[in-house]
Amino acid sequence: MLNMTDIMETITMIQEESLDIRTVTMGISLLDCCDSDIGVSCEKVRAKIYKHARELVNTGAVIEQKYGIPIINKRISVTPIAMLLGASGGDPLRYALSLEQAANDVNVNFIGGFSALVHKGFSPGDRELIACIPEALSSTERVCASVNVGSTKSGINMDAVALMGSVIKRAAILTADRQCIGAAKLVVFCNAPEDNPFMAGAFHGPGEPDCVINVGVSGPGVVRAALQKAGAGRDLTDVAEIIKKTAFKVTRMGQMVGSEASAMLGVPFGIVDLSLAPTPAIGDSVAHILEEIGVETCGGYGTTAALALLNDAVKKGGVMASSNVGGLSGAFIPVSEDAGMIDAARAGVLTVEKLEAMTAVCSVGLDMIAVPGDTHEDVLSALIADEAAIGMVNGKTTAVRIIPAIGKDVGDELRFGGLLGSGPVMRLNTASPSKMISRGGRIPAPIQSLKN
């Protein structure tokens, strides 16, 4: 029997603590759209996306109404386009424009999958697609790009890492009049998951079924409120317990919404991504959870330990709540999308070095960080290499989404608006890594890869 306390708790979570379903993402395989003629291929892509996703936004709205739970984003991820480009050849920009049209056709706010998987080397189509990323992101609004440059199993492709420094810079330059938004839609991964529902890094991996529904939940505000209610007298074991219980409840809702959407759309349910995804809204910040645990300002000593506790407890609580867990699953720390992180960065307490340490114990990586516009490409590449190394050695996903703020320097700000938020330009260590980056080649897979 339902009781009043449970009902009021759910309603408070949604109304006052910003609990929501962050994204319902439909993954669509485009492998059967390959054609040796790029025009035919693009047309098939658009038709297939429309066929599968035309009811996606509407279904999301029906579920929102039925359960009274907001579903913030409805999105699509597709097969890495480099695979289609390898077969068709031609100008990769045509694929980007087709994806943009397809996203407009079905009215989703982002479509991910202008991607290439090059962790062990380049195959036909990969280099051409990567070279086209800046143009693709500057001439579209909704297309997101990602490149996987490393994995625990295969090591790090340093030729790709070297390339990505200049691709990021160029994506920022081409969109300099729009707050360098191009770079905010581009993620460089190590160990990229094939079923991630979150943008900008979502793509539909080649091992995935033809069409699938993945769900990303959110709820930093709920976790923080639960800790606040418990008070400062509880020890850290209790804190972990409280986070686990809260994560369980949040994830159960994701599981329910995913099952419902999958049944309504007649598409198999893939995974729930157990992530704590912040938004710039007050009360929806991961940094504020860390501060609630007891670090004065996010970025101070203790932050990494608090984040490790938080990340682990979220997974432990969430994993029992869902039949299939996947994606990134962990706490996100995107600076510009998190009110607490923004404040901590402005105050100079949160630095890029500290963020790098934090990425070793939580989900993803250096995310949504604005850096000076005159940063050398090789420095960006070296930053990617460091982050990829953390992912490779620890067998986890890491990513880099940095935005060179063209024409701006430390102390200035970039303002993207909406969920992408705004952020101060942060200082980078600019000692030159050019000699290492110009070596190229591959960092061999670590000993951890030999599990057989």
Partner 1 sequence: MRAVITVIGKDMVGILAKVSSTCADANANVTEVTQSVLQDFFAMIMLIDMDKMTCELSELKERLNRNVDGMTIHVMHEDIFNSMHRI
Question: Among residue numbers 354 through 393, which ones bind partner 1 (CB under 8 A)?
Answer: none
Name the one range near partner 1 by CB under 8 A: 63-71, 196-204, 269-277, 365-373. Answer: 63-71
Question: In 3D, which of 25, 106, 112, 10 has the Cα closest to residue 72?
Answer: 25
CB of 14: closest distance to partner 1 in angstroms? 8
CA distance 420 to 219: 17
Closest to partner 1 by CB, 2 or 232: 2
> Residue 36: CB partners within 8 Å, gap ≥ 6?
87, 88, 89
- Is 335 an interacting residue with respect to partner 1 (CB under 8 A)? no
- Is 237 an interacting residue with respect to partner 1 (CB under 8 A)? no
Which amino acid, 247? A
DSSP code of residue 177 = G
CB of 2: closest distance to partner 1 in angstroms? 5
Query: How many C-alpha atoms does 102 have within 13 Å on its Cβ side?
Result: 30
- Is 6 an interacting residue with respect to partner 1 (CB under 8 A)? yes
CA distance 146 to 384: 13
- b/e per residue 383-421 (b: at least 16 CB within 10 A): bbbbbbbbbbbbebbbbbbbbbbbebeeeeebebeebbb
> Residue 38: CB partners within 8 Å, gap ≥ 6?
88, 89, 90, 91, 94, 95
| Beta carbons within 10 angstroms of residue 143's beta carbon | 25
- Is 246 an interacting residue with respect to partner 1 (CB under 8 A)? no
The dihedral built from the CA positions of residue 272, 273, 278 and 279, taken in this order, carries a sign that is negative
Name the one range near partner 1 by CB under 8 A: 8-16, 150-158, 181-189, 378-386. Answer: 8-16
Q: Which of 4, 232, 431, 447 is close enough to bind partner 1 by CB under 8 A?
A: 4
CB of 61: closest distance to partner 1 in angstroms? 10
- Is 256 an interacting residue with respect to partner 1 (CB under 8 A)? yes
Name the one range near partner 1 by CB under 8 A: 3-11, 36-44, 119-127, 409-417. Answer: 3-11
CB of 251: closest distance to partner 1 in angstroms? 9
Closest to partner 1 by CB, 62 or 282: 62
What residues line the site for partner 1 (CB under 8 A)? 2, 4, 6-11, 65-69, 249, 252-253, 255-256
